[in-house]
Amino acid sequence: MIDKSRSRPVKFVIGVILFAYLSYFISDGAIGIDLLDVALTSLVQISNSGIWTVFYKLIAWLASPGMDVLWILILAFLMYGFKYKIQAFWALAYMAGAMILGFIVKHLVGRDRPISHLAQDTGYSFPSGHVLGTFVLVSVIIMLVVPELPSYRAAMIVKWGSVVWLLLVIFSRIYLNAHYPTDTIGAVLLAWSWSQVMQWFYVFWAPGLLKWPLFYRSYL
């Protein structure tokens, strides 16, 4: 289900370099980062109304890190039941690894949240845990679920619907002042880089796992 892409190492290196530079500039308090955040925030918050606030609060709740873990558990349970056993455990490891990396980076960078953030948004700001978890969930759907859908139309609806959901989550974190825009960009870069690593693990380790009783008769 995941191919042996020769460009994967290049994608990983590019993602890591971009993420490292962004993390450094944020830690260093670069003025350019502040200007970029102000400009992007003003674009997202151009329409400030109660309806949008309620809408984005709902999005934020559905895409919270805890809910992302719940969604991936449900998805993994379904995949395991349909004989995609290796994929189910791979998806769980993918999410767990992303959450651990996000926690480590948050405490290494130690960026405070925007001043006007909501009271329930606690902890450090970079990278966004909501966006990190949602990226993992969306990429699992696109990589593992979409290719198995019975029709091209259904596949495209699920694929682009998932992408739109990720964008809505990004907008919600900025609109609600829970994160700076660069927090969401950092989350995407971190999750994308981690995705390359996990895809590499799948390609090289999945065939051998078929010998394990836990993955007996699993699809690849």
The pLDDT score that the predictor gives to residue 28 is: 84
Q: Does residue 219 lie in a domain region?
A: no
Q: Does residue 76 lie in a domain region?
A: yes
Backbone angles phi, psi at 126, to 5 degrees: -110, 125
Residues 6+ apart with CB under 8 A from 201: 90
Q: Does residue 15 lie in a domain region?
A: no
Q: Does residue 154 lie in a domain region?
A: yes
Q: Does residue 54 lie in a domain region?
A: no
Q: Does residue 88 lie in a domain region?
A: yes
Residue ranges making up the domain that contains 135 = 68-109+123-212
As a three-state string, the secondary structure of the chain is: CCCCCCCHHHHHHHHHHHHHHHHHHHHHCCHHHHHHHHHHHHHHCCCCCHHHHHHHHHHHHHCCHHHHHHHHHHHHHHHHHCCCHHHHHHHHHHHHHHHHHHHHHHHHHCCCCCCCCCCCCCCCCCCCHHHHHHHHHHHHHHHHHHHHCCCHHHHHHHHHHHHHHHHHHHHHHHHCCCCCHHHHHHHHHHHHHHHHHHHHHHHHHHHHHCCCHHHCCCCC
Per the structure, how many domains does the chain have? Answer: 1
What is the full per-residue pLDDT of the chain (220 aa) written as tens digits?
Answer: 677 788 899 999 999 999 999 999 998 888 889 999 999 999 998 877 788 889 999 999 999 999 999 999 999 999 988 888 889 999 999 999 999 999 999 999 989 888 876 656 678 999 999 999 999 999 999 999 999 899 999 999 999 999 999 999 999 999 999 999 999 999 999 999 999 999 999 988 887 787 777 777 777 6
Q: Does residue 149 lie in a domain region?
A: yes
| pTM reported for the whole predicted model | 0.91
Query: Tokens for 116?
Result: 């006007």
The pLDDT score that the predictor gives to residue 55 is: 93
Cα–Cα distance between 65 and 73 in angstroms, integer?
12
The pLDDT score that the predictor gives to residue 159 is: 96
Q: Does residue 114 lie in a domain region?
A: no
